[in-house]
């Protein structure tokens, strides 16, 4: 009889422990919706962008098809993927499911260097391109979406131990005239200019590009976790916090998304991955 009670208590204890763990560690992603009005956007219809970062192959808890179906429900015009996308062990079935389900949606991917400072392989890059995904790494492109002309500039990530000045010079050399063309609004006033950056602390470079909207990954590493020091860090970077995913950098609006790259032993308390839906609208005069 005692054994049954002991087993029952153990069962209750394990159940409560599991409930507590699920409460602390959010295993599912959050969908966050934000609206942004700007005088620089001239589209007659609002532009809806879905932002995802560091998907890294996904997993059974963040299935590619389910996320794709959610993106479809949001009726977005463009999906932006930033950071690491492919699993280091080749477990990419969730990425494939995500892309296959959204085959009719314009997708732009800005890759980052992985932890070994490696770029995505030529075969994976070719596979993405053949699937219709636009891969931008220190490059630019122009898309006509929802009746609006978008000028997109994709910035790759900084190499390990690379100085910020060296990084900026390398990016500018890779882009060449794209930087000049992007900032010359006299040539194309109707285009809406967006920076997509895998490097989330290139604030000086963002300012030089003079784009209205910046999409990037969540600040990490460079930002200190203590609340007061974190506020001081943002002040030093020139960032004014608007919401938990948006910041103001002088005249530029910056949106960040927390990535899916957490890992089994890297779960962050109360910090689930994010799918950020940004609705850009013409400023009402």
pLDDT tens, 130-180? 888 999 988 889 999 878 899 999 998 888 888 888 888 888 888 875 555
Residue 66 confidence (pLDDT): 92
Question: Which structure tokens are listed for 241?
Answer: 């916090």
pLDDT tens, 35-85? 999 988 888 899 999 999 999 887 777 888 999 999 999 999 999 999 988
**pLDDT at residue 127 is higher than 70:** yes
- The phi-psi region of residue 58 (left if phi > 0; otherwise alpha if psi is between -120 and 50; otherwise beta) is left
pLDDT tens, 204-259? 888 888 788 999 998 764 444 545 445 545 555 667 777 888 888 888 899 999 88
Region 100-115: mean pLDDT is 89
Residue 8 confidence (pLDDT): 60
Residue 236 confidence (pLDDT): 53
Residue 201 confidence (pLDDT): 84
**pTM of the predicted model, to two decimals?**
0.82
* Greatest distance between any 2 Cα atoms in the chain: 85
HEC readout, 45-74: CCEEEEEEECCCCCECCECHHHHHHHHHHH
CA distance 258 to 51: 10
Residue 186 confidence (pLDDT): 46
Residue 185 confidence (pLDDT): 47
């Amino acid at each position: 009889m005692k054994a049954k009670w002991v087993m029952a208590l153990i069962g209750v204890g394990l159940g409560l422990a599991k409930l507590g763990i699920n409460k602390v560690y959010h295993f599912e992603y959050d969908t966050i919706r934000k609206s942004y009005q700007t005088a620089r956007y001239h589209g007659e219809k609002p532009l809806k962008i879905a932002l995802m970062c560091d998907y890294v192959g996904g997993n059974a808890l963040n299935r590619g098809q389910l996320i794709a179906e959610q993106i479809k429900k949001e009726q977005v015009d463009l999906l932006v993927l930033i950071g690491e996308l492919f699993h280091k062990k080749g477990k990419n079935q969730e990425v494939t499911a995500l892309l296959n389900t959204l085959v009719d949606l314009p997708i732009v991917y800005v890759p980052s260097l992985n932890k070994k400072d490696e770029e995505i392989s030529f075969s994976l890059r070719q596979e993405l391109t053949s699937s219709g995904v636009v891969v931008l790494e220190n490059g630019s492109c122009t898309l006509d979406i929802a009746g609006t002309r978008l000028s997109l500039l994709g910035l790759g990530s900084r190499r390990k131990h690379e100085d910020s000045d060296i990084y900026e010079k390398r990016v500018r050399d890779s882009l060449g005239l794209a930087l000049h063309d992007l900032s010359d609004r006299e040539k194309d006033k109707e285009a809406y200019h967006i920076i997509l950056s895998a490097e989330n602390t290139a604030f000086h470079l963002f300012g030089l590009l003079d784009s209205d909207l910046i999409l990037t990954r969540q600040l990490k590493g460079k930002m200190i976790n203590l609340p007061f020091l974190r506020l001081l860090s943002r002040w030093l970077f020139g960032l004014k916090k608007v919401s938990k995913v948006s910041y103001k950098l002088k005249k530029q609006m910056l949106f960040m998304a927390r990535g899916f790259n957490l890992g089994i032993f890297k779960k962050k308390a109360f910090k689930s991955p994010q799918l950020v839906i940004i609705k850009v609208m013409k400023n009402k005069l």
